[in-house]
């Protein structure tokens, strides 16, 4: 297949990074937390995962730009030497002999620009979930001419066989354009195909939404649920794990709606690219709130789109209509 090498590289990089992040979470939860200027939490795991994945992707595809969430500016400050030492300690387990300068340069490999072909990476999507010891994802995607071609989500704390199954934690979601979506264990490539659920109407549908309301609008999501007839309680999960839940059939709807607290906010490409392909290749549908495809050609944000609507595809248009009605009502 055309993207076999890209798939293999992405799966290997995300799998190793996810296992490493799980180790860091177990060892350092609480102690590894740092804060950027905007007060969003960043951990040693973010930098370790970004350095590792960027290094492996660039080694395989040296001409491909990578657009990732972090840069090395925090770690180069002398007062933050402890954090750089922590990153080096963990990376040395998978990249023996790596030096601080190598770490910084590897992190900054993620400072690329959107082009005809590029990768986008969120080394820890759902950092607050990571800090709580809960759900987070390592998300990597390859985009060509604005279309996601390869998407991999590493979900270290997500049950492999579904919530409440008692199965092992640690799932890897993988999708290649036109080839379907798969799930496998982080420990071994025992993959199986996944499909969205066949629930065809809102009455039996389940909505998955973020734990943190800061980047979404839980109140409007609740109103939309009532308007179209969703009766079941929402499941709260951090990160792009929500895309995995819809793709596997654990839920039918995920809405990322504009919060009134941040009306000018636009979604980041690394927060959605991998998850979008996983859901679409599992048979679902992803658009913005106006029913338009997400546009990955405009830079680091989805500036041409407002919000994100994810579903199993069987009543997607009803969701778009309901969102439009509520938006017009609020504006009047």
What phi, psi does 303 have (nearest 5°)? -70, -20
Q: Are 130 and 45 in contact (CB under 8 A)?
A: yes
Beta strands 207-209 and 235-236, pairing class: parallel
Q: Are 13 and 57 in contact (CB under 8 A)?
A: yes
From the list 9, 46, 120, 122, the catalytic residue is: 46
Two structure tokens written together for 172:
């890897």
131 vs 58: CA distance, rounded Å: 29
Beta strands in the chain (DSSP E): 33-35, 41-43, 66-68, 117-125, 137-144, 147-159, 169-176, 181-185, 192-194, 207-209, 235-236, 253-256, 285-287, 308-311
Among 60, 58, 78, CA closest to 68: 58
Two structure tokens written together for 18:
């996810």
To the query of whether residue 127 is one of the catalytic residues in this protein, the response is yes
To the query of whether residue 46 is one of the catalytic residues in this protein, the response is yes
From the list 9, 43, 120, 127, the catalytic residue is: 127
DSSP string, 251-271: -SEEEE---TT-TT---BGGG
Among 312, 329, 310, CA closest to 320: 310
What phi, psi does 80 have (nearest 5°)? -105, 20
The CA R_g of the chain, rounded to the nearest whole Å, is 19
Question: Residue 273: helix, strand or coil by DSSP?
Answer: helix
Beta strands 137-144 and 147-159, pairing class: antiparallel
Residues assigned a catalytic role? 46, 127
């Amino acid at each position: 297949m055309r993207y076999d090498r890209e798939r293999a590289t992405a799966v290997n990089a995300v799998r190793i990074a996810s296992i490493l992040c799980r180790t860091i979470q177990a060892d350092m939860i609480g102690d590894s937390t740092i804060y950027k200027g905007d007060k969003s939490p960043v951990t040693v795991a973010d930098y370790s995962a970004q350095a590792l994945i960027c290094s492996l992707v660039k080694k395989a595809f040296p001409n491909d730009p990578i657009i990732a969430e972090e840069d090395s500016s925090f770690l180069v400050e002398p007062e933050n030497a402890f954090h750089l030492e922590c990153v080096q300690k963990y990376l040395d387990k998978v990249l023996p002999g790596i030096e601080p300068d190598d770490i910084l340069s590897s992190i900054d490999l993620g400072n690329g620009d959107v082009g005809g072909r590029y990768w986008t990476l969120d080394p820890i999507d759902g950092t607050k979930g990571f800090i709580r010891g809960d759900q987070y994802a390592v998300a990597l995607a390859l985009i060509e001419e604005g279309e996601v071609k390869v998407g991999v989500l590493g979900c270290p704390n997500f049950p492999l066989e579904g919530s409440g199954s008692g199965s092992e934690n640690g799932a890897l979601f993988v999708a290649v354009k036109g080839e379907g979506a798969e799930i496998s264990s982080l420990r071994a490539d025992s993959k199986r195909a996944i499909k969205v659920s066949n629930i065809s109407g809102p009455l039996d549908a389940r909505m998955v939404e973020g734990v943190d309301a800061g980047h979404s609008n839980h109140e409007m999501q609740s109103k939309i649920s009532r308007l179209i007839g969703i009766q079941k309680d929402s499941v709260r999960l951090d990160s792009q794990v929500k895309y995995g839940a819809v793709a596997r059939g654990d839920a039918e709807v995920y809405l990322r709606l504009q919060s009134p607290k941040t009306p000018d906010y636009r979604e980041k490409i690394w927060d959605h690219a991998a998850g979008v392909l996983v859901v679409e290749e599992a048979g679902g549908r992803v658009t913005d709130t106006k029913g338009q495809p997400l546009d990955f050609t405009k830079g680091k944000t989805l500036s041409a789109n407002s919000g994100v609507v994810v579903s199993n595809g069987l009543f997607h248009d009803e969701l778009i209509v309901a969102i439009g009605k509520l938006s017009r009502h609020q504006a009047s």
